[in-house]
Amino acid sequence: MNADEIFVFNQLVDWIKSGELRLQAYSPATQKMLGRSDFNEDVAGLERMIMDDQALVVEVLRTANSPFYYAISNVTTVRNAIVRLGVPTVKRIVIMVLERSRYKSWFPDLNHILIDLWVHVSTTAMSAQWLSHRLRLTGIEEICFLGGLLHDVGNLAIICAIDEMRKARHIGKSISAEVLEEFLADNHCRIGYEFMKRWEIPDIYCQIVRDHHKQEFATDNLPLVLVRLANNCSILPGEDISISQLLETPEAQTLNIDETVLLELQKIIVTHKTAAI
């Protein structure tokens, strides 16, 4: 990292810490969805909300038919999706669709990073949820899903900050892709954790954001363990990790996972990534 890049990143970190970056834990639409406890019993109300947005209908049906939701035969209507999958699952699908819109930039290089990040984040969220269901760890599917969705919020914050600083002409394209990748790897957990605390998000999610790459972590925190394993299984395009390597991880050993489960998940992930790009 040269002197100019160090200067730019120092500016970036100072601006993020100032609280001026316009970023929330979730989109306003997602926050509204999370607050709608009445949808848990109001199937018709959830259906109407989805049907009001044709793009949302398309994405809900596409996601409902993905292997993550054990789709054996095609779901062809929103009502059918709600009846088959249940209201909580369809709410999570809607949240996934709503959150996707945040991972966009007018700058092609940043947009490419955000697309890859979205594929990884959405895959991690669905993988963590799938694992909790597959391993019969009842009662934590929602936490695993949201934890997976939030775990890389530090990366999103950094890219959004660069995007806004470019728009304001504070910085140009003076940061190489390699240096940016290094900065993201070194700083996204810390910056993400600071944002989570600022937003007053429940501590379980703050821990996931802070600790999903830590060498030492709380193995009794099952949502954290599941998101860490899902994160390892859902690495960004161009990277690779074998089933045998995954089985050696402390996360897989803590959960006592066997090769069959990871092979199932790997096949599902490949299908999801192909559809998500």
Range of the domain at 129: 3-20+102-276
Residue 237 predicted with pLDDT over 50: no
Share of the chain above pLDDT 70, in %: 88
For residue 187 the two structure tokens come to 């700083």
Of the three residues 73, 101, 129, the one that is the final residue of a domain is 101
Q: Are 144 and 226 in contact (CB under 8 A)?
A: yes
Q: Do 96 and 106 sit in the same domain of this protein?
A: no
Tokens of 194: 């600071």
Q: How many other C-beta atoms lie within 10 A of the C-beta of residue 143?
A: 21
Comparing 95-99, 172-176, 194-198, 240-244, the range with the smallest average pLDDT is 172-176
Residue 43: per-residue pLDDT? 82
The number of distinct structural domains making up the chain is 2
Q: What is the pTM of this model?
A: 0.88
Give yes or no: residues 148 and 118 share one domain. yes
| pLDDT band per the 50, 70, 90 thresholds, residue 173 | low
> Which residue type does 89 have?
T
Q: Residue 38 — very low, low, confident or very high, per pLDDT cuts 50/70/90?
A: low
Nearest to 173 by CA among 102, 105, 103, 107: 107
Please tell me which residue, 205 or 165, carries the higher pLDDT value.
205
Same domain for 260 and 219, yes or no, is: yes
Ranges 38-47, 65-74, 198-207, most confident: 198-207
- Cα(74)–Cα(268) distance, rounded to whole angstroms? 16
Least confident among 25-39, 127-141, 150-164: 25-39
Are 202 and 116 in a shared domain?
A: yes
Q: 234 and 157: one domain?
A: yes
The more confident residue out of 233 and 222 is: 222
**At which of 101, 133, 156 does a domain end?**
101
Residue 135 and residue 243 in one domain: yes
The residue with greater pLDDT, 22 or 192, is 192
Contacts 24+ apart (CB under 8 A), 178-186: 179/1, 179/5, 180/113, 182/1, 183/1, 183/9, 183/158, 184/154, 184/155, 184/158, 184/159
Q: Which of 46-50, 187-191, 206-210, 258-262 is predicted least confidently?
A: 46-50
Q: What percent of the chain is modeled with pLDDT above 90?
A: 43
Residue 125 φ then ψ, to 5°: -60, -50
Q: Which two structure tokens, joined as six digits, stand for 265? A: 């998940």
Last residue of a domain, one of 53, 86, 101: 101
So what's the pLDDT on residue 37? 60
Q: Mean pLDDT, to the nearest integer, of 229-233?
A: 93
3-state secondary structure of 68: helix
Tell me, what's the pLDDT at 150?
95
Q: What is the CATH number of the domain that holds 111?
A: 1.10.3210.10
29 has a pLDDT exceeding 80: no
Average pLDDT over all residues of the chain: 85
Q: List, for residues 174-185, the tens digit of each pLDDT value.
A: 677 888 888 899
pLDDT of 236 > 50? The answer is no
Average pLDDT over residues 36-54: 78
